[in-house]
Amino acid sequence: MSGVNSAETDRLFQAILSLRTVKECYDFFGDACTIQEIQEIARRFDVACRLEKGGNYQEIYRETGVSTATICRVSRCLNYGSNGYRTAIARLKDGQGE
């Protein structure tokens, strides 16, 4: 993600990594983002989880209402991205995300 690398972004990610509970995450993201931004990130992660489990575009669209363009983008990230989604999904499965 070369276009986003900066000292400010590093500090943001360090702050996120310092959060210890889901409530702390709600508090931080509630201050830092709009409700719509949080919901959009959550929807994209949900799509990634569904794709990882073998879901197809049409059933994901039907079940979530997320546009096929967004589903396609998430799929592209899963298959050709930096493995961010896959790392997070694997850690949740391993119980490390709690």
What's the pLDDT at 2?
61
Q: Reduced to 3 DSSP states, what percent helix, strand and coil does the chain have, rounded to the nearest 5?
A: 75, 0, 25
Q: Is the pLDDT of residue 97 over 60?
A: no
State the pTM of this model.
0.88
pLDDT > 90: what percent of the chain?
A: 90
Q: Is the pLDDT of residue 39 over 70?
A: yes
What's the pLDDT at 10?
96
pLDDT in tens, 55-64: 999 999 999 9
Query: Rounded to whole angstroms, what are the CA distances from 63 to 47, 81, 92, 97?
Result: 10, 25, 22, 25
Average pLDDT for 80-92: 96
Contact 88, 96 (CB under 8 A): no
- Pick from 53, 44, 43, 38: which is nearest to 93 by CA? 53
Domain at 34-98: CATH architecture: Orthogonal Bundle (1.10)
- CA 49 – CA 9 distance, rounded (Å): 25
Provide the residue ranges of all domains of the chain, joining segments of one domain with +: 1-32, 34-98
